[in-house]
């Protein structure tokens, strides 16, 4: 307890800082931690004091033992600049912002938990790149993945398949059953398109009742057509909406890189032509 007229010591001042603070000596040993550190790290203060700073650092970011000096510690604590990852006592890793400052021979690190900000940023990024109705990739992400797939195929001398899909008679579903039923159909098709897809594939809703698949590293057109046939069998299963059955039919067209086109626009044109040929054949 302080008495009137006494000047608080440096560590007592750090207790008033609302953010977690640790102080390390020149060898990287923690010599002080304020109360706020406990909530962030899961460690009691007494568990941290006397231990190396590496206890708070994920293994992949740790420096070699010979770098345990002030320069090494600063590099360690700001391993990802202002996007540092801190390891909690339970082993989980949280994103924090770290501000470093000298205190004589010691180093002060002030940390701020950025978990919520990262979550919000990830959510905003997801919304910007995904269709809000089906949760599939949107047109922006679709074209980015398609161009990336073509670049990878060109480099690796492999093939990429683009499959364009269109729901037959979708306007009639909206007109007869209402837009809510139409949305239900689109959401169901989106969920079905994701069914049994490879991790490297991309399913997208690119507008209205139009969908697309990108299938990298495929071997042949015949193999792609078998994959499309199998997946359409799932996508076209009858759907029960408000007690009434809706029959679904999806037209599909396939284009292959490099046989049908050497860029995204050319592949899109060929896949569209094939899709409308399929639609005309059914009619």
CATH code, residues 10-117: 3.30.450.20
231-253 residue pLDDT tens? 999 999 999 988 889 999 999 99
Return the domain boundaries, the chain: 10-117, 131-282
- Residue 174 CA to residue 83 CA, distance in Å, equals 47
38-48 residue pLDDT tens? 999 999 999 99
pLDDT at 283: 56
- Statement: 131-282 belongs to CATH 3.30.70.270: yes
Give me the residues paired with residue 255 across strands: 162
Q: Please check whether residue 262 is in contact with residue 256, taking contact to mean a CB–CB distance below 8 angstroms.
A: no
Tell me whether domains 10-117 and 131-282 share a fold: no
Least confident of 63-77, 122-136, 250-264: 63-77
First to last CA, the chain: 88
pTM: predicted TM-score of the whole model, two decimal places: 0.66
Phi, psi of 119 (to 5 degrees): -65, -45
142-165 residue pLDDT tens? 999 999 999 999 999 999 999 999
- Residue 254 CA to residue 267 CA, distance in Å, equals 9
Catalytic positions, written as ranges: 209
254-267 residue pLDDT tens? 999 999 999 999 99
């Amino acid at each position: 307890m302080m008495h009137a007229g006494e000047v608080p010591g440096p560590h007592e001042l750090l207790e008033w800082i609302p953010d977690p603070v640790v102080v390390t000596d020149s060898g990287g040993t923690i010599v002080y931690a304020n109360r706020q550190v406990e909530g962030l790290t899961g460690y009691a203060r007494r568990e941290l004091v006397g231990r190396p700073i590496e206890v708070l650092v994920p293994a992949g970011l740790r420096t070699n033992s010979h770098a345990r000096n002030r320069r090494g510690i600063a590099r360690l604590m700001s391993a990802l600049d202002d996007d540092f990852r801190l390891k909690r006592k339970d082993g989980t890793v949280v994103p924090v912002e770290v501000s470093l400052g000298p205190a004589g021979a010691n180093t002060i690190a002030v940390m701020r938990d950025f978990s919520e900000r990262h979550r919000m940023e990830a959510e905003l990024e997801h919304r910007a790149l995904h269709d809000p109705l089906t949760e599939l990739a949107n047109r922006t992400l679709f074209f980015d993945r398609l161009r990336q797939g073509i670049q990878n195929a060109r480099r690796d001398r492999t093939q990429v398949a683009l499959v364009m899909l269109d729901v037959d008679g979708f306007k009639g579903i909206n007109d007869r059953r209402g837009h809510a039923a139409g949305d239900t159909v689109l959401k169901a098709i989106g969920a079905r398109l994701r069914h049994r897809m490879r991790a490297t594939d991309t399913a997208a809703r690119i507008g209205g009742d139009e969908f697309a698949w990108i299938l990298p590293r495929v071997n042949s057109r015949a193999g792609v057509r078998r994959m499309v046939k199998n997946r359409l069998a799932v996508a076209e299963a009858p759907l029960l909406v408000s007690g009434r059955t809706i029959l679904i039919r999806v037209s599909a067209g396939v284009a292959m890189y490099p046989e049908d086109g050497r860029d995204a626009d050319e592949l899109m044109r060929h896949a569209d032509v094939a899709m409308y040929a399929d639609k005309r054949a059914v009619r």
